[in-house]
Amino acid sequence: DADVTQTPRNRITKTGKRIMLECSQTKGHDRMYWYRQDPGLGLRLIYYSFDVKDINKGEISDGYSVSRQAQAKFSLSLESAIPNQTALYFCATRGQGDQPQHFGDGTRLSIL
């Protein structure tokens, strides 16, 4: 979905490095989410945000932090990356009311 853009699309880095994954959207949605996808585990929620002043932890927030710089931007940071954070990361947005979530193309992150 071109309306939700994630950068970078792929990243390989070393243990201990700080990594930032960025997400921007042109849908005008208030709600934004970060998930990670692991084989056999589906998608699990890391953090979500209702608006610029609101940040909430998800199921697996340990080792991650986020920043909602603007309504359209929601960044995910790994302060000190570790190998078990190797995964496919998805950003999603959602409008108000009963609406489905819209996903970005994903960031494939490999930590050596």
Partner 1 sequence: AQSVSQHNHHVILSEAASLELGCNYSYGGTVNLFWYVQYPGQHLQLLLKYFSGDPLVKGIKGFEAEFIKSKFSFNLRKPSVQWSDTAEYFCAVTEKNQAGTALIFGKGTTLSVSS
Smaller CB distance to partner 1: residue 73 or 103? 103
Cβ(33)–Cβ(75) under 8 Å? no
Residues near partner 1, by CB under 8 A: 1, 30-31, 33, 35, 40-45, 48, 50, 54, 56, 58, 90, 92, 94, 96, 98, 100-106
Report DSSP letters for 45-93, one per residue: EEEEESSTT--EE-TT-TT-EEEEEETTEEEEEESS--GGG-EEEEEEE
- CB 80, min distance to partner 1, A: 25
Does 83 sit behind a cis peptide bond, omega within 30 degrees of 0 on the bond before it?
Answer: no
Smaller CB distance to partner 1: residue 75 or 105? 105
- CB 97, min distance to partner 1, A: 8
- CB 107, min distance to partner 1, A: 10
